[in-house]
Amino acid sequence: MTLADSVVLVTGGAGGLGEAVVREVAAAGAAVVIADLADEKAEKLAADLGVKAKYVRTDVTDEDSVRNAVAEAGKLGTFRYAVVAHGGFGVAEKVVGKDGSPASLQGFTKTIDLYLTGTYNVLRIAAAAIAGNEPDEDGQRGAIVATASIAAFEGQIGQIAYSAAKAGVVGMTIVAARDLGSLGVRVVTIAPGTMRTPIMESVGEQALAKFAANIPNPRRLGKPEEYGALARHILENAYLNGETIRLDGAQRFTPR
C-alpha cells in the first residue's frame, strides 16, 4: 500500500516523534492531520507543509474530540492510516516513597488515561472509519501504528505508571490485529528506546551522553526521523501486523 493519495492522522503530530511522522508521510505524498493540543507549534507545522496538512486540536482522551479529528481527516481524502504518537504527561513515583507513604493513585490513573486509554480511544474510532474504505486487491483497507516504549518490558525505578500504560499498549496490539483482521485493518506498535526528542534535548549534553553510554550500537540516542521512517514502512508494508517492534539500538533499561 502506498501513502500517496491517502490521509494519515497523527496524534501528537506536533511533538518530536509525531512531527517526524508528519513530515515523513507528507513527503511520501499523503495528506496529514496533525492531531495535537500544542496550537502554535502545530499551526506552524501545518503552514510549513502546505494545503495537504491540517491542524485539528485534539484531546485523545475525549471521544468527541477524536471523532472530530477523524471526520476532518475524511474531508482531506481517503482516510486509511493513523499513527498514535502523543505524549504530554509523566509521573515518577516509587510504589512506596521514602517517607513510607504509597504512591498517588491520581498520578497512576492519569498516566493510564493518557497513554493507554487515549491510545485505545484513537484506535477504536480510527479503525471504525478506516474499515469503511474500499479494500485493495489484497483485502486491505488501512493500518494503525501505536507507540509503546521499551519501558513496557523493563521499566525503571519510579516508572510503574508509565510502564503499566505502555505494557497495556503492547498487550492490545495482537488482540486489535486479530479483531480487525476480517476488516482488512492492520495494527502494529513501535516500542522506542531513548529518543533524542526536543524534550530529551532539554536535559543537556552531559545527561544525554550518560543515556547514550547504555546503548550498545549505535551508541547514541535514537533520532525522531528513524521513528518516522519505521512508521512509514509499517504503513506501507502490508505483511506487518500484530507485532511490537523495538527501536532502541539494542538498549535494555537498567533499574536506574
Dihedral (CA of 64, 66, 69, 73) sign: negative
| C-alpha grid cell, residue 230 | 519505521
Which residues are CB-contacts of 239 (< 8 A; sequence separation ≥ 6)? none
User: Which of 55, 115, 162, 227 is flagged as catalytic?
Assistant: 162
For cell 494545503, name the residue: 51
81 is catalytic: no
Residues known to be catalytic: 162
